[in-house]
A and B are shown apart, each in its own frame.
Chain A
Amino acid sequence: MKPEKPLEPEKPLESEKPAKSRLNHQAQAALLFLLGATVLHAGLTDLHLRYVKSGLRPLLLLSGAVLIAAAAATVWYEWRRRPHSGHLGEPHREPRVSWLLTLPLFALILVAPPALGSYSANHTGTALTKPLGYPDLPDKGPLRLGVGEYAARAVYDHGRHLRGRPISITGFVALDGTGAPYLVRMSLNCCAADAQPVKIALTGEVPPVLQPDTWLEITGTYTPRRTKDPVNDGPVPYFRITHAKPVPAPSDPYDDAWNG
């Protein structure tokens, strides 16, 4: 009836080896817990949207929970482990490379780097590709389009439904080497490592002072004028601004509408 003797095993002579591995495992359990908690935090808030697609969220939450469960299981089995059977599992040292797992923790908790912005946009060519089709737009009235959708319709559909009507678009500002302004939205396929920009060149009533990475909602009209991206010669349509106002960055800074 008394299977557990919690105090007996702590005799110094008996517990030397298990104490070593227990502490060792405790550090790993702490690291696993922190990693799991950080992933859960990123998944539960909008933080993950800066780095990965929203579709990954359930998997992030699941993996965070599994990591925390692994930490809890490690602590639980360490606590229950008897000193004489303690050495069975882990004859090897904790691999040093595991310490590197603290780096993503610091990066996410302390720094939480922003979503990719004008720096990446200037170093990557526009990723505009011809879409499979063009969903119907309302016939009249003002339009609200994404950067990618406007660019695709302007370049590949010759602005068929865009002519002569007010359009508003939201994106961030990037200035190329010559100071020419672009409105950009990065698009993700999977995570920020494969993010690619879609760019619109700005003309018309461009605000006189533009800070890169400011989010703007611009209103204006279609213009058939085009230019080429200096990085990859990709097509970049122009947009004639009539009005521009700064807006807060959206919770999902990336745009994935243009490639379905």
Chain B
Amino acid sequence: MATTTTPTRGTEEPPRHDDERAPDEDSRHLTSPLLLTLVLLTAVMFQDPVRRALAAPVMQSWMTVFVAVVLQALPFLVLGVLLSAAIAVFVPPSFFARALPKRPALAVPVAGAAGAVLPGCECASVPVAGALVRRGVAPAAALAFLLSAPAINPIVLTATAVAFPGNPEMVLARFVASLLVACAMGWLWQRLGRADWLRPPARSSYEGQGRGVAFWGSVRHDVMHAGGFLVVGAMAAATLKSVVPGEWLRAAAGNPVLSVLALAALAVLLSICSEADAFVAASLTQFSLTARLTFLVVGPMIDLKLFAMQAGTFGRTFALRFAPATFALAVLVSAVTGAVLL
């Protein structure tokens, strides 16, 4: 057994033995631009068979939704990535130490309320929260920001008001419930969370480099990283959108408990941008207002696309614990808020 362990250890991640690893690494990396060219050329060569294979209506509708989710989210992802790079490069860590209260218990609600100023959807908030953690903000506060920003910013609240013209209380309920869940998750993380669940964001600091290098390096890294996970989420959302039949929803709408759970699950599966989900919720007229509020609170906090992006930014260990807790809490809080306000 001792003979087998030595070579495997050697091939894994030896921190020092760069000389031994270099040829192997080099050949792998030398191929990456070549591989890209080959993949692109092959795809161009075989475009006719590929197109024929994709001609079935299900596949076409799948691809349309897939492309649509990616195109819709990309500008907001780029916005978030630029903002996150700006935070990482131009804002000194001491700024956050001064701006946020010293005690994490107080920093959580302040950071949660600060989410109101990031005008974007959830794709933007993941890289920004990652940058906040790297800049030394307490994870509990950064997570509160991550959850509240996509739900309570002015654009999203305006969209909600437009989508529910007859029910202005929906806007208030959405704001209150989202902020409550964000703060509660922040406090929960502060009490129960362990630092080793949170993978230190996979990037060294940019100290010692020019600002331009650091800024564009951060942009490139974040787009490649979060963009890849965005594609994963878009594929999942497209699959569900073109496969799940609408009749299932009707069956669920009759039962008050089931309808809340069904719309919560639907919010996770559909992964709709938080700027658009109010309109979708408004069209689900078979469901009660409380069920639709659940849809609006759960969706921006946790969905397939977000889960993939959170796992990519903070690590899978974190995402596997954080996502179910967020989901449960969001459902609970929106049911209570709906009972009180709606």
Contacts and interface: CB of A to CB of B under 8 A. Distances in A.
Interface of A: 16-17, 19-21, 23-32, 34-35, 39, 42, 48, 50-52, 56, 59-60, 62-63, 66-67, 69-70, 73-74, 77, 88-92, 94-108, 110-111, 113-120, 123-125, 127, 129, 132, 189-194, 196, 231-233, 259-260
B226 to A, nearest CB: 9
Given A30-B36, A98-B224, A110 B44 contact: yes
A42 to B, nearest CB: 7
A259 B77 CA distance: 27
Interface stretch (B141-149, B172-180, B234-242): B234-242
Interface of B: 18, 22, 25-26, 29-30, 32-33, 35-36, 39-40, 43-44, 47, 50-51, 54, 57-58, 60-61, 63-72, 74-79, 82, 162-163, 165, 202-204, 206, 208-209, 212-213, 216-217, 219-220, 223-225, 227-229, 231-232, 234-235, 237-238, 241-242, 245-247, 249-250, 270-273, 275-277, 279-280, 282-283, 285-286, 312
B70 A104 contact: yes
18 contacts: A19-B26, A34-B40, A56-B72, A89-B206, A95-B224, A97-B312, A105-B40, A107-B66, A113-B67, A114-B60, A117-B61, A119-B60, A123-B245, A191-B72, A193-B237, A193-B238, A193-B270, A194-B276
Nearest to A34: B40
A111 B54 CA distance: 8
B227 A98 contact: yes
B208 A88 contact: yes
Contacts of A62: 75, 78
Contacts of A17: 18, 22
B227 A116 contact: no
Best-surrounded residue of B39, B66, B78, B270 (most CB of chain A within 10 A): B78
B50 A111 contact: yes
Best-surrounded residue of A17, A24, A101, A194 (most CB of chain B within 10 A): A194
B227 A101 contact: yes
Contacts of A125: 246
Nearest to A73: B216
Contacts of A96: 228
Contact of A95 (B26, B228, B283): B228
A42 B66 CA distance: 15
B216 A77 contact: yes
A59 B75 CA distance: 6
Contact of B209 (A30, A51, A89, A259): A89
A260 B162 CA distance: 9
Closest 9 CB pairs between A and B?
A: A190-B276, A97-B228, A189-B279, A192-B68, A73-B216, A119-B57, A191-B72, A59-B75, A51-B68
Contacts of A259: 279
Nearest to B237: A193
Contacts of B250: 232-233
Contacts of B216: 69-70, 73-74, 77
Given A104-B234, A120-B61, 10 more contacts: A25-B220, A51-B64, A63-B79, A92-B203, A103-B231, A111-B47, A191-B72, A194-B272, A196-B283, A232-B250
